[in-house]
Amino acid sequence: MPNGCSEKQSTVYRLVDHVRAVLINVRRLAGQFWQAQSNNSAVDGCKPPTMRESGFSTPVFVLLCILWYTTSALSSNTGKVILSQFRYPITLTFIQFGFVAGYCLLFMTPLIRFSKLRKPTKTIVRNTFPMGLFQIGGHMFSSIAISRIHVSTVHTIKVSINVPFSKCY
């Protein structure tokens, strides 16, 4: 923290330090999780590791689920408010994906160093491209649905679609 800065500036510096510490801890936990995943998959074959074997704690898993649900709910409700004034759901989808790409690039900057950008191989592109198309398509259809009916109805339908397939497991 530079000398002679105001109270607001020192608060901002402290907040940035706290955010950096949290990101470092999340990065460390994610690295431990993926390391445990890769170690166990080579030994056990197809058997997925349990939480205890992977070293990934239940509270962290619950926290991540809560964060995912919160961001999903905020995104859907914010999208509904935006779409009540702005009648272009597909454009909104592309803008949202642009923000996600921007945040990803921000987290890869040398200042934060949450991850490094690496050159994708043909295998990575071949495996992730179809998932990306389905992700974008699903998000577009979701935005179109949210622009026409209530958010709760859209989410109820999205959840109900998986019920028949859950019997397969």
pLDDT of residue 98: 92
| Confidence at residue 129, expressed as pLDDT on a 0 to 100 scale | 93
Position 9 pLDDT exceeds 80: no
Confidence check: pLDDT of 137 > 70? yes
Average pLDDT, the chain: 77
pLDDT higher than 80, residue 162: no
Percent of the chain with pLDDT over 70: 72
140 class by beta-carbon count within 10 Å (0-12 exposed, 13-18 middle, 19+ buried): middle
What mean pLDDT do residues 118-136 have?
90
Residue 90, pLDDT above cutoff 50: yes
> What is the CB neighbour count within 10 angstroms for residue 51?
11
> Per DSSP, which regions of the chain are E strands?
none
Q: Which of 30-34, 90-94, 152-156 has the lowest mean pLDDT?
A: 30-34
Could you tell me which of 29, 91, 35, 81 has the C-alpha nearest to residue 60? 29
CA distances from 98 to 7, 13, 24, 102, 105 (A): 34, 28, 25, 6, 11
Give the pair of three-digit tokens for residue 141. 């259809």
Q: What is the mean pLDDT of residues 42-49?
A: 50
